[in-house]
Amino acid sequence: MNALFTPFRVKNMELRNRIVMPPMCMYSAGSDGKATDWHSFHYRTRAQGGTGLIIQEATAVEARGRISDRDLGIWSDDQIPGLQSIVDGIKEEGAVPAIQLAHAGRKCTVSSEDVIAPSPVCFDSEDPLYLTPREMSAEDIDAVIASFKNAAVRAAQAGYEALEIHGAHGYLISEFLSPLTNFRQDEFGGSAGGRAEFLKRIIQAVRSVWAQENPLILRVSALDYGDNGNEAEDLAEMINLVKDEGLDLVHVSTGGVVPHVVIPAAPGFQIPAAKIIKTLTDLPVAGGGLITEAEHAEQILADEECDLVFLGRELLRNPYFPLSSAQKAGVKLKYKPKQYERS
């Protein structure tokens, strides 16, 4: 099992292995968006377990960008100390800390907030949690772009070594990218280039304050699972339109754009889409989807379908998955916590 435990480098980011903990919302922040001791323990444990890259859960760049009123936030300087505690714990255990900058768009369920989207279409009219969003004006678009830029400044101050822009799962950027949720007639709608314009401007704004030597990651939903929705090839086309603004890696997921669709979930079900995006964009990719076995992850890497493999639910069940997998494979890891060397 050589590939899974081979280091990987993008710009200044060097990972000790190819295992990624993807963002998974914990809905455990205070109503002020501040991190708690629970977050520090949660992420530090996965770093201690041997994970290479830990991408913190969706962290809202605006209060109205939250999915719920328990989401982490990065819209205020007051939130930086709590985030820094998460970063410090991850680094001390040898993993690389990244943060996912996010805006929920029409999937915001905080009733007191001004819910916005590219077009005024409710995510799920059958669910009372979801409100019909207000179509974003040019001023709204500028304000959100500025929020991403300001969040990148705070992320650097907190010590994160990589940034991920959340362009997946039917949240705001994803809503702009998908023809199922973007019905605008202006420069931010219509063609693939128009639908990618909002993302392009966010990348430009973030890159203007985020060090060029530090990686910028984009997470996408490569499949909408809806009639006339995006396919992996469509996402690859839009990524190619924006990648020269400073993208370094693509984190490939699927779904979340429209409700009540059947997703063919099975171990590795998102890997084919990741491979398409890797091939068509010539960018390194992270892929996954219900992967629970190290041997499966190893085969994905050996077949060069992905460069990194993300494990979500498995790392929730077993924070020490990397260490236990290495032991089973006879791989000697130098970074095992010394307190556990007797194991």
Each residue's pLDDT tens digit, 145-198: 999 999 999 999 999 999 999 999 999 999 999 999 999 999 999 999 999 999
Distance CA 221, CA 291 (A): 18
Query: Which residue would you say has higher pLDDT here, 339 or 171?
Result: 171
Q: Is the pLDDT of residue 206 over 80?
A: yes
Q: Is 77 exposed, middle or buried (0-12, 13-18, 19+ CB in 10 A)?
A: exposed
38: number of Cβ within 10 Å: 11
Look at residues 76, 58, 107 and name the one whose alpha carbon lies nearest to residue 251.
58
Residue 136 has pLDDT above 80, yes or no: yes
In CATH, what number is assigned to the domain containing residue 197?
Answer: 3.20.20.70
> Over 80: is that where the pLDDT of 335 sits?
no
Instruction: Pick the closest to residue 165 from 140, 196, 125 (CA basis).
Output: 196
3-class secondary structure, 29: coil
Q: Domain span at residue 77?
A: 8-340
pLDDT for 1: 59
CA 104 to CA 73: how far, in whole Å? Answer: 12
Q: Is residue 1 included in any domain, yes or no?
A: no
117-126, 286-295, 301-310, 322-331, range with the lowest pLDDT: 322-331
Per-residue pLDDT, averaged over 119-135, amounts to 97
Integer CA distances (angstroms), 32 to 104, 108, 291, 309, in order: 16, 15, 34, 33
* φ, ψ (nearest 5 deg) of residue 287: -135, 165
Does 153 reside within a domain?
A: yes
Residue 316 has pLDDT above 70, yes or no: yes
How far, in Å, CA of 60 to CA of 180, rounded? 23
d(CA 28, CA 282): 37
Q: Contact, 242 vs 154, CB < 8 A?
A: no
Evaluate whether 250 touches 197 at the Cβ level (below 8 Å).
Answer: no
Instruction: Give whole-number Cα distances, 303 to 3, 205, 249, in Å.
Output: 10, 36, 18
Lowest mean pLDDT, pick from 10-24, 80-94, 101-115, 321-335 = 321-335
Please report, in angstroms and rounded to a whole number, the separation of the first and last CA atoms in the chain. Answer: 20
Q: Which amino acid is at 115?
A: V
The structure tokens 């260490």 sit at 323
Residue 335 lies in a domain: yes
Rounded to 5 degrees, φ, ψ at 117 are -165, 165
The total of structural domains in the chain comes to 1
**pLDDT average, residue stretch 276-285:** 98
pLDDT score at 334? 74
CA 319 to the chain's CA centroid: 19
Q: Per the domain annotation, does 170 fall within a domain?
A: yes
Confidence of residue 337 (pLDDT cuts 50, 70, 90): confident
Predicted local distance difference test score (pLDDT) of residue 2:
85
Cβ atoms < 10 Å from Cβ of 3: 18
Is the pLDDT reported for residue 341 higher than 90?
no
Tell me, yes or no, whether 43 lies in a domain.
Answer: yes
CA distances to 94, 252, 263 from 288, in Å: 23, 8, 14
Is there a domain that residue 20 lies in?
yes
| Mean of pLDDT values over 217-223 | 98
**pLDDT band at 343; cut points 50, 70, 90:** confident
Whole-number pLDDT of residue 242:
98
Lowest mean pLDDT among 68-72, 191-195, 324-328: 324-328
In a domain, 3, yes or no: no
The answer to whether residues 267 and 297 touch, using CB atoms and an 8 Å cutoff, is no
155 occurs within a structural domain: yes
